């Protein structure tokens, strides 16, 4: 039934999703001329609308954050990754933490609004074929975090879990950012059910799904190795999602 309804609702969803991207392209360009604060407000608004475009599929949005997180120190958010629809909700609901992403450099061209934000929003745009460039971009991001008390979002699996089953977390990006920001708070975020939206591919999208993000308790970092910190974040998310560690 969800697939059948998706055939009807997916064109409506794509129309409003694309319309949002087109409308906010000139808004972002103009706001960027007035500086970072103005541009960020336009990006926040963009991601509000992108998040709630899910209503055109009959999908619900639930974001739970019961943590008292500081705004005066860098935060490294670590999450599982299920689909591109993970991202707008994080940007919107965690907007006061100035969350920046590590993205593929290919995404900085050709996508209305999204490419502009990736290019000028302060995140790291990496070339996966050029490890030196990738490390350099992450180092730049780490330095910006320290200078501005920004936060970073790392999808530590390295790729999307298209069936919702988590892959093992990789320590690389987390390690680089923590070395540059030893005072950073490490906070896991568990993402549920966004993979179901694209379970049938780009068309039809699945209708009637319940997308959910849960911000979990910060990970203790004192006296822990980088590997142990990353593993603790992975275990916390697996516990929330009821997914055991693979053998």
Q: Identify whether the C-beta of residue 72 lies closer than 8 Å to the C-beta of residue 42.
A: no
**Is 2-241 assigned to CATH 1.20.120?**
no
pLDDT of residue 246: 82
- Helix axes of 36-52 and 86-93: crossing angle, nearest 10 degrees: 130
Q: Where are the domains of the chain?
A: 2-241
pLDDT of residue 245: 86
As a residue count, the chain comes to: 247
CA distance 17 to 125: 23
pLDDT of residue 128: 85
- Model confidence at 114, pLDDT cuts 50, 70, 90, reads very high
DSSP structure class, residue 122 = S
pLDDT tens per residue across span 18-55: 999 999 999 999 999 999 999 999 999 999 999 999 99
pLDDT of residue 26: 98
Q: For the chain, give the mean pLDDT.
A: 95
Give the pLDDT mean for 196-216.
98
Edge-to-edge strand ranges of the sheet holding 124-126: 60-65, 210-215, 185-192, 75-79, 151-155, 99-104, 124-126
Give the pLDDT mean for 150-157.
95
In the predicted structure, residue 117 carries a pLDDT above the cut 90:
yes
Start-to-end CA distance of the chain, whole Å, equals 35
Q: Identify whether the C-beta of residue 243 lies closer than 8 Å to the C-beta of residue 166.
A: yes
Q: Is 210 left (phi over 0), alpha (psi -120 to 50) or beta?
A: beta
Give the pLDDT mean for 221-238.
95
pLDDT of residue 222: 87
CA distance 173 to 184: 14
Give the pLDDT mean for 13-17.
98
In the predicted structure, residue 65 carries a pLDDT above the cut 90:
yes
pLDDT of residue 49: 98
> Going by C-beta distance under 8 Å and a sequence separation of 6 or more, which residues neighbour residue 4?
none
If we measure between CA atoms, which residue out of 219, 172, 171 comes closest to residue 75? 219
In the predicted structure, residue 247 carries a pLDDT above the cut 80:
no
pLDDT of residue 167: 94
């Amino acid at each position: 039934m969800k697939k059948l309804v998706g055939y009807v609702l997916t064109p409506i969803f794509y129309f409003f999703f694309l319309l949002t991207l087109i409308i906010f392209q000139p808004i972002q360009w103009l706001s960027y001329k007035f500086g970072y604060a103005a541009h960020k407000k336009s990006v926040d608004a963009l991601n509000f609308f992108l998040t709630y475009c899910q209503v055109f599929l009959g999908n619900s949005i639930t974001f739970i954050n019961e943590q008292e997180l500081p705004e005066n120190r860098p935060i490294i958010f670590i999450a599982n990754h299920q689909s591109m629809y993970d991202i707008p909700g994080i940007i919107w609901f965690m907007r006061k933490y100035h969350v920046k992403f590590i993205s593929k450099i290919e995404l900085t061209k050709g996508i209305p609004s999204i490419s502009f934000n990736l290019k000028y929003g302060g995140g790291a745009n990496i070339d996966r074929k050029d490890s030196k460039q990738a490390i350099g971009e992450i180092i730049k991001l780490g330095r910006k975090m320290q200078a501005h008390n920004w936060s970073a979002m790392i999808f530590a699996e390295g790729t999307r879990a298209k069936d919702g089953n988590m892959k093992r977390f990789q320590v690389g990006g987390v390690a680089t950012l923590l070395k540059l920001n030893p005072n950073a708070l490490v906070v896991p975020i568990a993402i549920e059910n966004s993979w179901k939206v694209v379970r049938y591919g780009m068309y039809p999208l699945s209708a009637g799904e319940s997308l959910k993000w849960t911000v979990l308790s910060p990970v203790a970092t004192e006296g822990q190795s980088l590997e142990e910190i990353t593993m603790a974040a992975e275990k916390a998310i697996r516990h929330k999602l009821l997914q055991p560690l693979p053998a």
